[in-house]
Structure 1
Amino acid sequence: MQPSEYPELWAFLESLHLGEILSGTVTAIEPFGVFVALDDGPDHPFFSGVGFITIPELSWRHVEAVSDVVHVGQRVSCEFLQFDTWNLEARLSLRATQPDPFQALADGIAVGEKLYGRVTKLVPFGVFVQIADGLVGLVHLRELAWTPVEAPSDVVQVGDEITVVVTEIDRERRRISLSRRQGLSDQR
């Protein structure tokens, strides 16, 4: 779309600055994201709001159902990410206005620390273990037991409560590596 087609909307979107906090009301929930009517923004010619939040930008945690995070009519404050010139909308982030639970967890634990968690998923290369509310770490296959393991299901099942030791905290990639074998008494 060209600036001449919708001059008021184009001017509004161009006036926004990266990181600016914008308020509005959730107007529609779609499978691909959430539309927000911004308080100071004009109406959108096609969508139910000038602001748009993609699913990953709704929350730091994995979103199963958007309705668990927001509902139509809810007031929200979001950080402006970018001007989407193709759709003429303000891309927004709700999660950017909330503390990152991963960073809080990473601040509170250390490599070598023993934790307790619940196995949430088995994959060919290891298992995922929930170590805090909505936060999981990976126990690689080689870290499941002192003896070689062919499949994670040989030693654990989904739902098992296990002791693990933190082996790596990768803040940039937001990943925590764990070891079950180091959490076991020396059973070599």
Structure 2
Amino acid sequence: MTEPVPNPLEQLRTRLAAFRPGEVAHGTVAGFADGEVVVRLDSDGSGEPTGRIPRHLLSWTAFEDPAQVVAVGQRVTAEVQGAHGGGGRVVLSAKACEDEALYRHLRGARPGDVVTGTVAAVHPFGVFVRLDGAPPHPVHPGTGFVRVPDLTWAHVDHPADVVRPGQRVTGEVIGADSYQGEVVISLKALAEDPWDSLGLAVGDVVTGPVTKVVPFGVFVRVGEAAEGLVHVSDLGGRAVAEGQELTVRVLETDRVRRRIRLAAAG
């Protein structure tokens, strides 16, 4: 009886399935192709060079040619980013494992951990934090990073409105990002949610400052860190400016979507 011919595609899928994102893989540089480093992985029994390191995942150090960073025959350690059956390759990040101390630090960060550090830099896109006990980052001013929405429950126009360089902060770990080499943290997670003590009900009348004027209406602060929208159709023809006090009536509150609909009162 003739044995069935192995399906090459199924064999490839089985091989690639052994490589899971986040795992560390070891191999030998087999060459270069299309600006990427080709790697023969130790754990791939086929002996084929199926690992690929894209140039942006090769090193934290700036370079012109991948051959300036690694050589054929050199041993490499890299983190698996994913496996692509269509191209028959395992995408690797050597950069993630390049700084051993940093990689150990990232692997040790657990969601829910509470960490403390010093604000190292404030940018429109977020805040870098130099975490206590963390190794220096090869590129960024700190290994901790706070995204703008994770700074505070209140609306902010710029992170500089909330923190400043040199300030001590404490936050909760959301996760570790080996791509950027950062521990993503939230300061907001450790602060009381203002919605828990808002105490607004439909029909209540309150007065608060207009925080923003937009084409479709205005936003009014109705709590310590809660804002509601007065649609232009609910302004009653009033012309209002940012900073002006406005008395409003609560029309609707949506706790899940964190939205409050208001109308000008009086």
Residues 16/120 of structure 1: CA separation in 2 closer, same or farther (3 Å cut): closer
Q: Deviations over 1:93-143 (max 9, x none)?
A: 1111111223322xx111121212333444333332222345321122333
Structure showing greater relative contact order (alpha-carbon pairs closer than 8 Å, 6 or more residues apart): 1
In the alignment, which residue of structure 1 is the partner of 2:192?
A: 99
Tell me the CA shift for residue 12 of structure 1. Answer: 1.6
Tell me how many residue pairs correspond in the alignment: 172
In the alignment, which residue of structure 2 is the partner of 1:90?
A: 183
Structure 1 unmatched runs, 5+: 146-153
In the alignment, which residue of structure 2 is the partner of 1:155?
A: 238
Alignment of structure 1 residues 1-188 onto 2, 5 Å: 1-2=93-94, 3-105=96-198, 108-145=199-236, 154-158=237-241, 159-180=243-264, 183-184=265-266
Aligned residues with identical type, % of pairs: 44
SS at match of 1:169: strand
Residues 54/125 of structure 1: CA separation in 2 closer, same or farther (3 Å cut): same
Tell me the CA shift for residue 175 of structure 1. Answer: 1.1
TM-score normalised by the chain length of structure 1:
0.79
Q: Distance in 2 between matches of 1:26 and 1:122?
A: 32
In the alignment, which residue of structure 2 is the partner of 1:149?
A: none
Q: Distance in 1 between matches of 2:123 and 2:231?
A: 36
Q: Distance in 2 between matches of 1:119 and 1:89?
A: 37
Q: Distance in 2 between matches of 1:33 and 1:121?
A: 22
Letter of the 2:178 partner, please give it: T
Cα root mean square deviation, aligned: 2.1
Letter of the 2:226 partner, please give it: L
